[in-house]
Amino acid sequence: MRIIKLIALSFLITLPWQLALADATTAQALVKINICYDAADKIDPEFVKCSLKEIQKIPNPKGYKCRILSDDKRKSANGKIRIIFYTASGFMTYCTGTAGDKLMINSCASEQGKVVTPSDELIIAPP
């Protein structure tokens, strides 16, 4: 019994705390984004396409949409990366991280905002 408690405790300690802030859908999406990031050579449209394709495989009952923004395309630059999940009802989860050799999500925050209109989506999605 003691071993089971030790394993459970070590799992909780190693569970990234930033994923605990997100709901199950966004947590799964962050895992998929991380997998695509590890496979990519740089942060480019191919990485984003891979991430969005993988995210579409996740059950998405809340209808989340996702945007990925980065300051630098080089993985070795340790630039900032922002990942935005939002629903049409205005609920948004905003994650920030560091894009180095490994993708490190530093924090996520969620809030309920106003309903997202098509013109608002244009603001969220840069050209």
- pLDDT by residue (tens digit) across 52-106? 899 889 888 888 888 898 888 887 778 899 999 988 888 889 999 998 888 999 9
Residue 5 φ then ψ, to 5°: -60, -40
pLDDT at 113 over 80: yes
CB atoms within 10 A of CB 64: 20
CA atoms within 13 A on the CB side of 66: 23
As a whole number of angstroms, the distance between CA 94 and CA 83 comes to: 6
pLDDT at 6 over 60: no
CA 47, 50, 53, 59 dihedral sign is negative
Tokens found for residue 56:
């579409």
pTM for the full predicted model: 0.72
Tokens 């395309």 correspond to: 73
CA 113, 60, 50, 33 dihedral sign is positive
